[in-house]
Amino acid sequence: MNILITGIHGFVGSNLIMALCEHHTLYGLDIISPEKKGVARTFLWEDIETASFPMQRLPHFDAIIHLAGKAHDTKNQSAAQVYFDINTGLTRRIFDFFLESAARKFIFFSSVKAAADSVVGDVLRENVIPTPVGPYGESKIAAEDYIKEHFVLSDTFSVNKGKMFSLKEEIVRYSDKQVYILRPCMIHGPGNKGNLNLLYNVVKKGIPWPLGDFENKRSFTSIDNLCYVVEGLLTKDVASGIYHMGDDEALSTNELIALMCEAMGKKPHIWKMNRKMMEGCAGLGTLLHLPLNTERLRKLTENYVVSNEKIKSALGIDRMPVCAADGIRKTIKSFEE
């Protein structure tokens, strides 16, 4: 297949190149266009504007993978509009291009944060009513809504300004196309520079983890499992729709730290400070504007378990190829190297 990947120079894009380049011809679309091993050519965003770069001069694309976006800023220093300009605006541009092109498959990388900032109940599933909090999740759900306003997903309703879209007309017009909205939870792997890297640096310094008395469960997404799912969506006849993505097993923060220490050959320092005492300290931190406050404690210790049953069923598999613990070990070893 000829595959166009936006944001190809990022962490996920670089790993997808390694996973797909042997059997597919890859093209990039990014804000920069240097040569990259495994990529036939990288275009700039201006190149997909048909007025300046006619579509007939572009290669024939069989599929488009839209990765480009602004990641969640954990320091909350980015202006809200920047998220909408990039996460929503670029999605509109590339999806419009997809609809007018001959490409048959479109994979949009959204996020579980578009569905929920916190999980209500035991597991986050695709049928949840989206309640994003903050500009990152809100810009991602706005991008999802734009796609659903212009394409009929098999398991969702398309609504345009409160009115039902003309489903019959759109089904006929795009009957040969398939669209997938992927909502992965925290992605990790070689080259990752996100929150897992921050925790790794804390653990590497031997700083004790004082919240061992909190037993939480969180889902993660190994980059190897993610690449496997993308390959499946490209090559199998999977119904259009929204799919959550995560590893099979959820891990507690205590288990995560233990795995990190195992990979580094270190002894974990997990302190089980009294839970009520830590909650009291966090409450005091809120009053005094200290780093550990009630909101940060909640984020560090909450459950966030994501179901991957729908995507596994769609691909006809029982398990992901990489278990969560092995994926974490591989990531930590890459940090060490």
State the Cα–Cα distance between residues 301 and 293, nearest whole angstrom. Answer: 12
Walk along the chain (337 residues) and give the pLDDT tens digit of each residue: 999 999 999 999 999 999 999 999 999 999 887 888 999 999 988 887 754 455 557 889 999 999 999 887 655 556 889 999 999 999 999 999 999 999 999 999 999 999 999 998 899 999 999 999 999 999 999 999 999 999 988 665 444 444 444 444 554 456 789 999 999 999 999 888 777 888 888 889 999 989 999 989 999 999 999 999 999 999 999 999 999 999 999 999 999 999 999 999 999 999 999 989 998 999 999 998 887 888 888 888 889 999 999 999 999 999 999 999 999 999 999 988 8
Reported pTM:
0.89
Classify domain 2-184 at the CATH topology level. Answer: Rossmann fold (3.40.50)
